[in-house]
Amino acid sequence: MSEPQPIYLSDYRPPAYRVTHTELTFDLDPAATRVKARLHVERHPDREPGAPLELDGEQLALKAIAIDGQALGEDEYALTERGLRVDGVPERFLLDTEVEIAPEDNTALEGLYRSGGMFCTQCEAEGFRRITFYPDRPDVMATFSTTVIGDAAGLPVLLSNGNPVERGELPGGRHFVTWEDPHPKPSYLFALVAGDLKKVEDRFTTMSGREVTLQIWVEEENLGKTDHAMASLKRAMRWDEETYGREYDLDRYMIVAVNDFNMGAMENKGLNLFNSAAVLTHPQTATDAAFQRVEGIVAHEYFHNWSGNRVTCRDWFQLSLKEGFTVFRDQCFSADTNSAPVKRIEEVSFFRTAQFAEDAGPTAHPVRPDHYIEIGNFYTLTIYEKGAEIVRMLCNLVGWEAFRRGADRYFSRFDGQAVTIEDFVNCMAEASGHDLSQFLLWYSQAGTPEIDAHGEYDYANGVYRLVLRQRTPATPGQPDKLPLHIPLRLGLVGTKTGRDLPMTLDGEDLGTDGVIHLREEEQEFVFTDVAEAPVPSLARNFSAPVKLHFPYSREDLAFLLAHDSDGFNRWDAGQRLALLALDDLIAAHRNGVEKVMDPRVVEAFRHLLTTEADDKAVLAEMLTLPSEAYIAEQQPLVDVDAIHAAREFVKQSLATALRDDFRRLYEEHRSEAPYAPEPEQIAARSLKNVALSYLVSIEDEEGIELAQRQFEADHNMTDVRQALTLLVHSSRGDLADPALRAFGEKWAHDPLVMDQWFSIQVTRPQSDALDRVKFLMDHPAFSLTNPNKVRALIGAFAQNRVNFHRLDGEGYRLLADVVIELNRLNPEIAARLVTPLTRWQRFDETRQELMKAELERIRGEELSPNLYEVIEKALA
């Protein structure tokens, strides 16, 4: 096999031929499905006549091919590994092909595959070419008419995009349904489902009075787990009408839950496919976090109907056009339905841990990459989350009203088209009158910008000078960076009053909470008429995806933690304060010096615990220490053991000093009320469970008893899972196994709960975690071909900082072994799973060598393009 070659954005050309209408017939069979395709083809008006017809196609056995009804002889077309070529085609013609495929052998879960007894598809990004020969690129948009034929008894339900127009019986116990999708769409939005499924149905009336049927299709045993997804869908539909003026455009909207799925969910037109983990919930089986995740993903896929489907991407380099925008939309939706600051805190803690790490590692890439080998590797945190941060900055820059006008312009001007990121940004520039040319650099420059800030208060003149200096570090292929346009929201908090001071900048009134624009490498901002010495509260609500350094003293941070009017920055001040203390303790641990707890952190926590909180959900976040992964992200070189020891020390010191406050907090927030995934209840559970985690960390007898009782009370999965996790992760050796056994037996029949059972045990800090992984890989509920299982067991173990990074290299070896097996079974998952090994530069020399040795061992295999691309970058 030759080395996979990169594809370049600069090589983009419109397709030589487009397809205006696509007719498909599937005759389903696990081992030999027949797919007939009739494509209505015409030359693209912008392309020269006489070009050959080139269609994508992989792993297809061609059975027949004809143009305008004339069968082609074997010398009239050419077949390659990657597709089909026909020379000398007319300007307009009908192409008929018939191919055979084997869904039951498809473990990659791209194209048509089997999940349990059902058939289903995943076509984004390039899966359709594993179904039939086609110009499998998003700028070819066609209407589809799809006939699905299957065994009537085994596959009573046959679904595809759009509306069912015909159904009937066929000889041999088979039946068929024909579906028509009137909206032109790219092949990546095609979907088909066939199986023994049951539905839950509801209705929604759109703002213009259209009646829409909503259906969630599941296996029978999951019928009781769809309520929350359905309610979320209706809320999302209403929200998009109210917020963006966009309504749904078909008579039915279907969601299907699938157990084997590479990602979270897929926005296929009118027929979303969902990883069952992203749609099914029940108070007894799903945690608050899972409920919120389901709500967010249901909304995300629904919002794609406009941002992605009606207006789609010209090519896959523009992926963030639909993903960044849609993530921004689902984030705003969730913020409107839940505690907005907590939503932001959760987003940002995840972003600063995982996206910052990606942006600093060997696979760093711009939000719009300029080349790729395998597009499946680019469904990344950078494309999704940093893309969303850029859209958020745009929104803050031009203001919501102009942003909404820009979105209206974008949707109406480009409806039914495949467009670029410039098209989107230009709409925002036109609607607002802003010059966004420098801002566009955010899309082409990789790496996390760092801002060094310092400020000085001039008492005599009442002037505050803030100096900001930006730089973006080099990333692979991009040694030099230009200054970006960075909008920073800020306030100046008066040290006497604790209030936001009015801000005047260059004679302009900024109010008490305003945005400044950093455009130069270094810029000074001079605020006048500042009545008292302020502490600046910078990048409020994480107004830009940057690392902001300001020489805050611990007193400054304690002050902001108590007084900042921005909930997000109040939380962030607490995190910064904890990080300073952690830094000292990490150093102490490394130097073998006795660890001493900073009393200022204890006092700050005491203050939090003893003053009335205006937002309990935020308080729970404030009481949560930065994760080991986030602490690691702040260190020049990661010392996993020192980080773990330091964090445990802080936790235990706080628990010891504030034991009574935590006990009180726990008691005040326990409740027997029936479970509801509502903000107030969620906040109370978070507070109670944070308190419990402190109490158990010091093996407080009462705390352990509370955890055991909470586990046994079995009130809801949020409480049960937290209690189980604390018992299993506790250093008291006798607690883990009885609880795990009880839980494992109770839930053996429920794959999504068993995923949690796997994760909890392999993330424990005790040294038996690795042995548990090996043991559990033979558990009947585990399967290497199910991505959820792989993530729950192997992926979770790779997040177990102390055990994955064992000094004997056994953690790395285990991951590499699994990656090598998955390289054959499911390349997309293999390439994701290997990520932790690619971050070897962050660790000490011994671990670096061990990690690189495993990467080299993987490189010795015959690699899928997915893994090839990642491994080459990691070892470059």
Cα 711 to its chain centre, rounded Å, is 30
User: What tokens does 658 get?
Assistant: 């504030």
374 vs 628 by CB, closer to ligand TRP = 374
Nearest residue to ligand TRP by CB is 263
Q: Please report how close the Cβ of residue 300 comes to ligand TRP at its closest, in angstroms.
A: 6
Window 319 to 338, contacts with Zn ion (CB under 5 A): 323, 326
107 vs 178 by CB, closer to ligand TRP = 107
Q: Please report how close the Cβ of residue 421 comes to ligand TRP at its closest, in angstroms.
A: 17
Helix (H) or strand (E) holding 798: helix 796-798
Q: Which does 686 bind (CB under 5 to 8 A by kind): ligand TRP, Zn ion, none?
A: none
* Binding piece for Zn ion, criterion CB under 5 A, among 287-295, 315-323, 680-688, 831-839: 315-323
Strand-pairing partners, residue 501, are 492
Q: Which does 266 bind (CB under 5 to 8 A by kind): Zn ion, ligand TRP, none?
A: ligand TRP
Tell me: does residue 122 bind ligand TRP (CB under 6 A): yes
324 vs 536 by CB, closer to Zn ion = 324
User: What tokens does 632 get?
Assistant: 């690691």
Which residue in 149, 263, 706, 815 binds ligand TRP (CB under 6 A)? 263
Pairing relationship of beta strands 211-218 and 198-205 according to DSSP bridges = antiparallel
Pairing relationship of beta strands 503-505 and 450-458 according to DSSP bridges = unpaired
- Whole-number Å distance between alpha carbons of 107 and 821: 12
369 vs 376 by CB, closer to ligand TRP = 376
Tell me: does residue 301 bind ligand TRP (CB under 6 A): yes
- Whole-number Å distance between alpha carbons of 153 and 876: 54
The count of chain residues that interact with Zn ion, using the rule CB under 5 A, is 2
The phi, psi pair for 115, rounded to 5°, reads: -130, 110
- Whole-number Å distance between alpha carbons of 256 and 271: 7
Instruction: State whether the Cα torsion 579-581-584-585 is positive or negative.
Output: negative
Helix (H) or strand (E) holding 741: helix 736-746
Residue partners of 233: CB distance under 8 A and separation at least 6 = 204, 214, 253, 255, 298, 299, 302
* Tokens 């004997």 found at: 808
The phi, psi pair for 100, rounded to 5°, reads: -120, 135
Q: Please report how close the Cβ of residue 300 comes to Zn ion at its closest, in angstroms.
A: 6
381 vs 632 by CB, closer to Zn ion = 381
Question: CB of 466 within 8 A of CB of 492?
Answer: no
326 vs 697 by CB, closer to Zn ion = 326
119 CB neighbour count, 10 Å cutoff: 23
Q: Which does 124 bind (CB under 5 to 8 A by kind): ligand TRP, Zn ion, none?
A: ligand TRP
* Binding piece for ligand TRP, criterion CB under 6 A, among 222-230, 262-270, 490-498, 668-676: 262-270
128 vs 868 by CB, closer to Zn ion = 128
Q: Please report how close the Cβ of residue 390 comes to ligand TRP at its closest, in angstroms.
A: 17
Q: Please report how close the Cβ of residue 827 comes to ligand TRP at its closest, in angstroms.
A: 11
* Binding piece for ligand TRP, criterion CB under 6 A, among 261-269, 338-346, 533-541, 613-621: 261-269
Which x/- pattern over 348-387 shows residues binding ligand TRP (rule: CB under 6 A)? ----------------------------x--x--------
Which residue in 60, 86, 148, 266 binds ligand TRP (CB under 6 A)? 266
The count of chain residues that interact with ligand TRP, using the rule CB under 6 A, is 13
Tell me: does residue 316 bind ligand TRP (CB under 6 A): no
Q: Please report how close the Cβ of residue 648 comes to ligand TRP at its closest, in angstroms.
A: 37
Q: Which does 546 bind (CB under 5 to 8 A by kind): Zn ion, ligand TRP, none?
A: none
* Binding piece for ligand TRP, criterion CB under 6 A, among 263-271, 461-469, 757-765, 794-802: 263-271
Residue partners of 90: CB distance under 8 A and separation at least 6 = 67, 68
Q: Please report how close the Cβ of residue 290 comes to Zn ion at its closest, in angstroms.
A: 19
Which x/- pattern over 320-349 shows residues binding ligand TRP (rule: CB under 6 A)? ---x--------------------------
Tell me: does residue 306 bind ligand TRP (CB under 6 A): no
Q: Which residue type does 691 have?
A: A
How would DSSP label each residue in 187-252? GGG--EEEES-EEEEEEEE-TT--EEEEEEEE-GGGGGG-HHHHHHHHHHHHHHHHHH-----SSE
**Helices vs. strands in the chain: H and E counts, helices first:** 31, 34
Q: Please report how close the Cβ of residue 185 comes to Zn ion at its closest, in angstroms.
A: 15
Helices (H), 635-678: 640-657, 659-669
User: What tokens does 661 get?
Assistant: 């406050």
Which residue in 39, 120, 148, 265 binds ligand TRP (CB under 6 A)? 265
Q: Which does 122 bind (CB under 5 to 8 A by kind): ligand TRP, Zn ion, none?
A: ligand TRP
Q: Please report how close the Cβ of residue 340 comes to ligand TRP at its closest, in angstroms.
A: 23
User: What tokens does 236 get?
Assistant: 């999302």
Tell me: does residue 229 bind ligand TRP (CB under 6 A): no
Q: Please report how close the Cβ of residue 767 comes to Zn ion at its closest, in angstroms.
A: 40
User: What tokens does 205 get?
Assistant: 């009336």
Residues identified as active-site? 301
User: What tokens does 318 get?
Assistant: 């523009």
Tell me: does residue 124 bind ligand TRP (CB under 6 A): yes
Radius of gyration of the chain (CA): 28
Angle between helices 387-398 and 400-413 (to 10 degrees): 120
- Whole-number Å distance between alpha carbons of 502 and 562: 19
Which residue in 54, 98, 267, 628 binds ligand TRP (CB under 6 A)? 267
422 CB neighbour count, 10 Å cutoff: 15
Return the C-alpha torsion angle 300, 302, 306, 307, nearest 10: 10
Q: Where are the beta strands (DSSP E) in 344-443?
A: 371-372, 418-419
Helix (H) or strand (E) holding 346: helix 340-350
Tell me: does residue 279 bind ligand TRP (CB under 6 A): no
Q: Which does 114 bind (CB under 5 to 8 A by kind): ligand TRP, Zn ion, none?
A: none
Q: Please report how close the Cβ of residue 509 comes to ligand TRP at its closest, in angstroms.
A: 42
* Binding piece for ligand TRP, criterion CB under 6 A, among 117-125, 213-221, 521-529, 703-711: 117-125
672 CB neighbour count, 10 Å cutoff: 6
16 vs 278 by CB, closer to ligand TRP = 278
Residue 734 burial by CB count (10 A; 0-12/13-18/19+): exposed, middle or buried? Answer: exposed
Q: Which does 302 bind (CB under 5 to 8 A by kind): Zn ion, ligand TRP, none?
A: none
Window 812 to 841, contacts with ligand TRP (CB under 6 A): none
Binding site for ligand TRP (CB under 6 A): 122, 124-125, 262-263, 265-267, 300-301, 323, 376, 379
Binding site for Zn ion (CB under 5 A): 323, 326
